[in-house]
Amino acid sequence: MGDNQLDSCEKQKKRTITIICFLGSIAGLLFGLDTGVMSGALQFVAVEFSLSAAMQERVMGSLMLGAACGAIFAGWLSYYIGRKYSLLVASVLFIIGSLFCALTPNVEILVSARVLLGIAIGVASYAAPLYLSEIAPEKVRGRMISLYQLLITVGLFTAFVSDTFLSYYGAWRWMLGIVIIPSVFLFLGVLVLPRSPRWLASKGRSNEAKQVLEKIRLTKQEAEIELYDIHESMKVRQTGWMLFQNNPHFRRSVALGVTLQIMQQFTGINVVLYYAPKIIGMAGFSSVAEQMWGAVGVSIVNVLATFIAIGVVDRWGRRPTLLLGFSVMACSLCLLGLMLSLNIGTVWACYFSVVMLLVFIAGFAMSAGPLIWVLCSEIQPLKGRDFGITISTATNWLANMVLATTFLSLLETFGSANTFWIYAVLNISFIILTWRFVPETKGISLERIEANLMEGRKLRDIGQ
């Protein structure tokens, strides 16, 4: 082959892998879209079906309940039918769920359809990062988790923008139905994706795994080396549940993963995201348009600040970034609570409250947003990685559900200022928890972290 031919072949393969990764990431976009759309639609849905606060919480929380179940079920599904077909199942559920949400004649069907959508998100949020990490070349594997998080934030942003435009017409059915478009893209995209070479090899289909690798790696030699490495790493059998029962050190890393995810959710992030228009209303902006555009602002800051995290995570490290993030969130929530309790009512005071909301979002997106996912994928020993990550992902969704289904009741019981102060206190306690238990894993190999954990070192020191 001449140099020119080699060059164009290399370019062609790079293009193929970029397209494959992009298609896989659409699942992240849907994750963001589906969790976000209800934020703008809820006020219209509440009026249409005369919903009480408790019922509105149920509409919000049903998605998270489904997602927690989906995440648990996904481990089993993606083991048996593979990552590609799991994503296909998820995209069909996305389409059906969105259709039922848009056409629902009553709140019961809406809640059931949201559970279905939740299951789709749970499956996609497990299978997509796994697929991406198995298909992407080693050099860009690390960036994939951050890219995936970035797409979640882009999905949330898209949801808020489309909600805002549609809110002028009160078109909540369109808000919920529009998600069908990217779902169909996901379905069509996944159809043309190759299967994960690692999954194929794990099912004894080494020839097919080799064919896929040859298509997506630059040289035949690269493909062969990777197939060899896959076979080597498969010698470590996944014995999650048994390891959990018998090994106290593994129980510690699972507990750390669970705690990290609880911390991420109990910062109050999704309360702010899902109820953004409502909170902006409480801050003094009474028109629906102001509230909706304010929510768009919140979601833009969420996207932009995620870039900060991508830039600093490997330079500053996990611990300092998390400590800074929790501190920023605690301070901004304290001040937001203060403004709500003073109830000043001037334009200046309204803007200041919204700025505090934006500072809070920035604090989350530059730290706990992507970092908790990064840490959860780093701290589990190889033998129990699938099990550990399944448990922590399901915890993320359960904790998310608890928050989404208690916020309005907290507001009613304690009032708005006290509710935000409760979240501020939680963020302060996370500074302490991070200080005491979270390891610094920057620049340390996963094997070293595992060896330290299994030697019985303190959790905080397993990254040394």
Q: Going by C-beta distance under 8 Å and a sequence separation of 6 or more, which residues neighbour residue 63?
A: 34, 35, 38, 114, 115, 117, 118, 121
Nearer to ligand BGC, 98 or 400 (CB): 400
Return residues touching ligand BGC (CB under 6 A): 35, 149, 152-153, 156, 264, 269-270, 273, 302, 369, 396, 400
For tokens 């991406």, what's the residue?
132
Nearer to ligand BGC, 88 or 368 (CB): 368
Nearer to ligand BGC, 107 or 404 (CB): 404
Nearer to ligand BGC, 20 or 366 (CB): 366
For tokens 């904790």, what's the residue?
399
Taking each helix axis from N to C terminus, what angle separates 347-365 and 318-342, rounded to the nearest 10 degrees?
A: 160
Tokens encoding 70: 């989906």
- What are the DSSP E strand ranges found in 17-143? none
Show the 3-state SS of 363-406: HHHCCHHHHHHHHHHHCCCHHHHHHHHHHHHHHHHHHHHHHHCC
Cα–Cα distance, 36 to 49 (Å, whole number): 20
SS3 231: helix
Cβ 270 to ligand BGC, closest distance in Å? 5
Cα–Cα distance, 139 to 10 (Å, whole number): 16
Nearer to ligand BGC, 250 or 360 (CB): 360
Cβ 369 to ligand BGC, closest distance in Å? 4
Nearer to ligand BGC, 148 or 421 (CB): 148
Nearer to ligand BGC, 196 or 405 (CB): 405
Q: Going by C-beta distance under 8 Å and a sequence separation of 6 or more, which residues neighbour residue 82?
A: 195, 196, 199, 200, 203
Nearer to ligand BGC, 380 or 393 (CB): 393
Nearer to ligand BGC, 129 or 369 (CB): 369
SS3 105: coil
Cβ 396 to ligand BGC, closest distance in Å? 5
Q: How far is CA 233 from CA 159, 199, 211, 383, in A?
A: 40, 12, 19, 10
Nearer to ligand BGC, 300 or 344 (CB): 300
Cβ 247 to ligand BGC, closest distance in Å? 28
Cβ 138 to ligand BGC, closest distance in Å? 24
Cβ 361 to ligand BGC, closest distance in Å? 8
Cβ 155 to ligand BGC, closest distance in Å? 9
Cβ 130 to ligand BGC, closest distance in Å? 16
The terminus-to-terminus CA distance of the chain in angstroms comes to: 48
Nearer to ligand BGC, 157 or 199 (CB): 157
Burial of 76: CB neighbours in 10 Å, binned 0-12, 13-18, 19+: exposed
Cβ 200 to ligand BGC, closest distance in Å? 30
Cβ 372 to ligand BGC, closest distance in Å? 7
Cβ 33 to ligand BGC, closest distance in Å? 11
Q: Going by C-beta distance under 8 Å and a sequence separation of 6 or more, which residues neighbour residue 246?
A: none
Cβ proximity of 121 and 72 under 8 Å = no
The b-or-e profile of 404-443 (16+ CB within 10 A means b, else e) is bbebbebbeeeebbebbbebbebbbebbeebeebbbbbbe
